[in-house]
Structure 1
C-alpha cells in the first residue's frame, strides 16, 4: 500500500491521481498527519508538508527518505500555479523511484486539448503552446504534438459555433440488451424494464417539451441521442421520440443530429428506416472489438458477423456518416487481436472511428468482481495506440478530438478520427466545455457554461428509471434553477412561456 501524508487539505486529489497513474495496481490512500491515530507502515510514503512560503515533498521507503525536494511559493501566487509546481516535484520523484515516464506527464485531468486550445487562444503560437506544455506538464513530444494538432482541428470545426447564444441537446435512452463487463454508464437491461419503456418516454417527452419551450431564445446547434442503446426502442417508439423532438425543437437548423445506434444486436431494418425518416445526419454502429472470444467474455450478446451485417444494412438504408467505436485494453486481448479488429473495421470503411482505452471504473462488473478476472491480461500501450492512428490514417481519417479518463488502461487516451466533413461536433463540444448542453433522460447531466468555460454549473437527473418517471417534475425544477441564471430571466418566468430579461 502507498500512503500520501498531508499537513493540511490542499491538492489531495491531484496528488492521489498522479501517484495512482504510476502505480495503477496498488492501493493508495490519503491521510492527514493530525488525524493519524497510529503510525501505519506503507510500502511507499509520500509526505507533503505545506509551509508559509514553501512546500516540501519527500518519498520514504522503510523509514528512509529516497527523494526530497522543496519549492518556494511566491506571495499571491495563483492556486493553479502552486498546483502545477507541486505536481512537477511529485512527478520528478515518482520518475526517479519507478524509472518510468508517463506519456501525458503529470497531467491527470481528462481534457489535455482544452489546455492546448486555451494556450493557442491566448495568443501563443503552436510552437509556444507545445513548449509550455512540455515544460509545465512534462508531456512527451508525441502527446504534445497530438494535443496541439487536435486543438487546432477543433478550433476549425467549431469556428461557426456561437458558444454564448447556442446550445446542444443530449437525449438519454438508458436501456441496453445486456450490460457489458466494463460499462459504468447509466444503463439498465431492457428485459427488466420493457414494461416501463413507454412510461419512460412519456416522462422524457415532458422534459423535452419543457427544454424546447424554455430554450427558444437560444440557437440549437447539435442533437445527440445516446445511452444506453437508443435502438433498444422499438421502431414505433423511435419514431415517437424523433417526431416529438421535431415538434419541440428547430431540427432543420442544427449542424449535426446523431443517434447512437450502438449495439449491433439491437439494430434492425425497421429501426434504421424509422431513424432515416427523420433528419438524423449521423449514427454509430459500435463493435468495440471484432474478436468473438472477447465479445463473449465482456457480455456482448452478438457476433462479429452481426456487426458487419448491421453496418452494411445501415449503408443500404442510406446513412452516409457512420461512426464505429472500439476499445483497446479489453481483457485477454493483445496487440495482434487489436490489429485484427482494425483490419476488419478498415474493410468496412466507416466515416469515423473512435478509439477508447479501457477505463475500469468502480461501478463496473469488471471492478466489482475483479477477483474473478485477476488472471486476465489487460494490454494497452503506446505501440497499440500508434497502430490505431496508422490504420485511421490509411482509411483517410485524421484525429479531431481527444479525452482521457480515470483508471485508463496504459494511462493513455481516447481519440476520435474522422474523414473530412464527418467529424462529430457534439463530441468536441462536450469535451471542451465551451457550450451549454441541455440533457434529458435518466442519468443525464445538464451543463450550463458561463464566461466561455470559466464557470460551469450542472443539473443532474436521477439515474434510476422508476425514480426518473415518478420525479420528472423535480427533474425539470432542477433545470429551472440553472436556467434562470443561464438565461438571465426572472425567477418564476422560466418554463411558463415568459422570457423577461432581468434588469441589471
Structure 2
C-alpha cells in the first residue's frame, strides 16, 4: 500500500487519483495529518511507512483570491530518507477561477497547480511520464471541444493541453481529432429540444469478473422478466406524456445483456416504445447484444423486425482460456457464429468491444484478437482498457488477496495494459478503415490509458458521444439507471433508479416521480 500523508482536508480525490495513475494495481491511501509541515523530516515518528507527503500552505486568502504553496516529497527509499521534492504555488482568483502558478507566466487553477507539483515529483521519482499527464478526469476530449467552441486553433489547443496538463503529443492529437469529429457527427442534433432514451435490462447469462454494472443471472430471475417489462412500460408512459413536445434522437437498450430477453419479450418492449413514442426522428436505435451466449437467430429477427439499426456482438478477447477466466461462458466459435448470423439477418452496423489488460494476456494475445476481428470486419470497434472497478468481482478477488497478505499473486501481476497493446489495437482499427470518434477514461484504468470508439463514417455511435460529452438530456428507464438533465447553460442534474430489481418494481411510481421532479 502507498500511504500519502496530507496536511489539510482538501483535494484528497485528485491526490489519490494521480498517485493511483502512477501505481497501477497497488492500493493508495491518503491520510490527513496535521504533522506534515515544510520542515517535516520523514524520520519523525508517524512517517516511517509514508510513500509521500503533500503539504499545502495557504499564505493569503480573501474573498477574491487565495495564494499559497504546495510541497511534495516522494520517498524513493524510506530507510535512506531520499526524496523527490517539488514546490509549486497556488494562486487563484475566486471570481474568474484562473490563476498564476509557479513563475507567474502561466494561468492555472489552484487544484491544477497542486496536481502539477505532484506529477513532476512522481515523474522525477519513477522516471515515468503518463500519456494523459496529470489529467484525472474521465472526459479529456471535452477540454479540446470547449476550446474549439471558443474559436481556438489546433496549435493553441496543443499549447494549452501541453502546458497545463502535460498531455503527450499523441493524446493531444487524438483529443483534437475526436473533438472535431464529434462536433461534425452531432451538428444536426438539437440539444435543447431533443433527448435520448436509455432502457436498462439488468439480466446477464453470467456476471463477468471485471463487471460492476447492475446485473442479475437470468436463470434465477427469468420469472420476473415480464413484470419488469411492465414496469418499464409505466416509465415509457411517463416519457410519452412528458416529452411529447421533444424530439427523440437516439434509443439505446443496454444492460446487463438485453438479449437475455426472449424474442416475444423483445418485440413486446420495443413495440411498446414505438407505440407510445414518436420515433420518426430517431437517428440510431441500438441494442447491446453483447454476449454471444444470449444471441439466437430468432432474437436477431425480432430486433430487425422492430427497427433496431445498431447492435453489439462483443468478444472482449478472442482467446477461449481468457473468456473462461473472466466468467464469460461462451467460446470464440460462438462469437463468430453470432456475428455471422447477425450479418445474415441484415445488420449492417455491428459494434464489437475488446478489453486490453485482461488477466494473463500479452501483446501477442491482443495482436491475435485484432487479427481475428479483422476477419469479421465489424463497422465499429470499441477498445477498452481494463478498469478495476470497486463493485466488480475482480476488485473483490484482489482485496481478498491483500487481506491475506498475498500482495503478489498471478492475477495482479498479469493485469497490465501497455502502450504496445494500444498501438496494436489502434492499427487494427485503422486497417479496418475505422476512425476514432469518441473517447473516455475511467478511474483505476489499466496503464492510465483510455477507452476509444472507432467506426466507419456514418456508422459512429451517436448515443456514445451524447452520453460521454453530456450535451443532451438522457432519460433512463430501468433498475440501476441514471437520468441526466442537461440545461442550456451546461448545468447537469441527475436522478437515479434503485439498483435492486425488486425495490425498483415495488417502487416504480417513486422512480417516475423522481423524473417528474427533475424535469419540472
TM-score by length of 2: 0.90
Q: Cα offset for 1:2?
A: 2.8
Question: Do 2:84 and 2:124's aligned partners in 1 also have CA atoms closer than 8 Å?
Answer: no
Find the partner of 1:201 among 229, 237, 260.
229
Tell me the equivalent position of 2:410.
375
Deviation at 1:213, TM superposition (A): 1.4
**Where does 1:211-226 land on structure 2 (aligned, <5 Å)?**
211-226=239-254
Does residue 345 of structure 2 align to residue 317 of structure 1? yes
Choose the corresponding residue for 1:456, options 485, 488, 492. 492
1:389 aligns with 2:426: yes
Match of 1:56 in 2: 70
Partner secondary structure for residue 123 of structure 1? coil
Q: Supply the distance in 2 between the matched residues of 1:72 and 1:295 (Cα, whole angstroms).
A: 48
Helix, strand or coil: the match of 1:29? strand
Partners in 2 of 1:361 and 1:435 — Cα distance? 26
The reply on whether 1:15 has 2:12 as its aligned counterpart is: no
* Matches of 1:387 and 1:3, distance apart in 2: 35
* Structure 2 unaligned regions, length at least 5: 37-44, 61-66, 99-107, 402-407
Shift of 1:82: 1.4
- Distance in 2 (CA, whole Å) between partners of 1:219 and 1:6 is 49
Quote the Cα distance in structure 1 between the aligned partners of 2:355 and 2:27: 25
Aligned equivalents of 2:175 and 2:5: distance in 1? 33
Equivalent-residue separation in structure 2 for 1:49 and 1:196 (angstroms): 54
Counterpart contact for 1:295–1:302, Cα < 8 Å: yes
- After superposing the two structures, state which structure 1 stretch, 369-378 or 213-222, moved more: 369-378
Partner of 1:69: 87
Aligned residues: 482
Residue 340 of structure 1 aligns with which residue? 368
DSSP-derived class of the 1:73 partner: strand
Aligned residue number for residue 498 of structure 1:
none
Aligned residue for 1:378, secondary structure, equals: coil
Q: Report if the CA contact (8 A) 1:355-1:388 is conserved.
A: yes
Q: Deviations over 1:42-67 (max 9, x none)?
A: 34122231312212222153356530
Secondary structure of residue in 2 paired with 1:161: coil
* Secondary structure at the counterpart of residue 262 of structure 1: coil
Q: Does 1:286 align with 2:314?
A: yes
C-alpha contact 1:171 1:439 (8 A) present in aligned 2? yes
What do residues 279-308 of structure 1 show as CA deviations (whole Å, max 9, x unaligned)?
Answer: 211111111111111111111111111011
* 2:211 corresponding residue in structure 1: 183
Which residue of the partner structure matches residue 404 of structure 1?
441
Asked if the contact 1:448–1:456 (Cα under 8 Å) also holds between the matched residues in 2, the reply is yes
After superposition, the Cα gap between the structure-2 partners of 1:125 and 1:47, relative to the gap in structure 1 and judged at 3 Å, is: same
Partner of 2:503: 467
SS in 2 for 1:253: coil
**Partner deviation per Cα, 1:10-41 (whole Å, 9 max, x = no partner):** 322111100111122333222323499x8353
Matches within 5 A, 1:81-480: 81-370=109-398, 371=400, 374-376=409-411, 377-453=414-490, 455-480=491-516
Question: Helix, strand or coil: the match of 2:518?
Answer: helix
Q: Secondary structure at the match of 1:14?
A: helix
Distance 2:342 2:70 in 1: 59
Quickly say closer, same or farther: Cα 1:90–1:162, change in 2 above 3 A.
same
SS of the equivalent of 1:149 reads helix
1:165 positional shift:
1.1
Deviation at 1:395, TM superposition (A): 0.7
Alpha-carbon shift at residue 369 of structure 1 (Å):
1.5
Q: Cα offset for 1:72? A: 4.2
CA distance in 1, matches of 2:93, 2:493: 30
TM-score, normalised to structure 1, is 0.92
Shift in CA distance, 131/444, structure 1 to aligned 2, threshold 3 Å: same
- Would you say the 8 A contact 2:88–2:114 is kept in 1? no
Query: For the residues of structure 2 that align with 1:101 and 1:93, how far apart are their CA atoms?
Result: 11
Aligned equivalents of 2:392, 2:376: Cα separation in 1: 30
Q: Could you say what secondary structure the match of 1:396 adopts?
A: coil
> In the alignment, is the contact (CA less than 8 A) between 1:435 and 1:452 conserved in 2?
no
**Alpha-carbon separation, structure 2, partners of 1:355 and 1:65:** 38
Residues 74 and 121 of structure 2 are in contact (CA less than 8 Å); yes or no, is this contact kept in structure 1? no
> Does the 8 A contact of 2:74 with 2:125 survive in 1?
no
- Say which is worse superposed, 67-76 or 381-390, in terms of deviation: 67-76
Task: Provide the secondary structure at the position in 2 that maps to 1:251.
Answer: coil
**1:124-170 CA distance string (max 9 Å, x none):** 01121112101111000001100111001001000111111111000
Q: CA RMSD in A?
A: 1.7
User: Which of the numbers 64, 75, 78 marks the counterpart of 2:97?
Assistant: 78
Aligned to 1:483: 519
| Stretch moving more, 427-436 or 47-56 | 47-56
1:142 aligned counterpart, secondary structure: helix
Secondary structure of the structure 2 residue equivalent to 1:252: coil
1:84 is displaced (CA, Å) by: 1.6
The Cα shift of 1:75 comes to: 4.5
Listed one character per residue, the Cα deviations across residues 306-348 of structure 1 (whole Å, up to 9, x for unaligned) are 0111011111111111111111111111111111111111000
Does the 8 A contact of 1:289 with 1:295 survive in 2? yes
Of the structure 1 ranges 188-197 and 41-50, higher mean CA displacement relative to structure 2 is found in 41-50
- Cα deviation 1:93-123 (Å, max 9, x = unaligned): 1111111000000001110101110111111
Conserved? CA contact 2:4–2:50, under 8 Å: no
CA distance in 2, matches of 1:230, 1:27: 35
2:119 and 2:111 map into 1 onto residues whose CA distance is 12
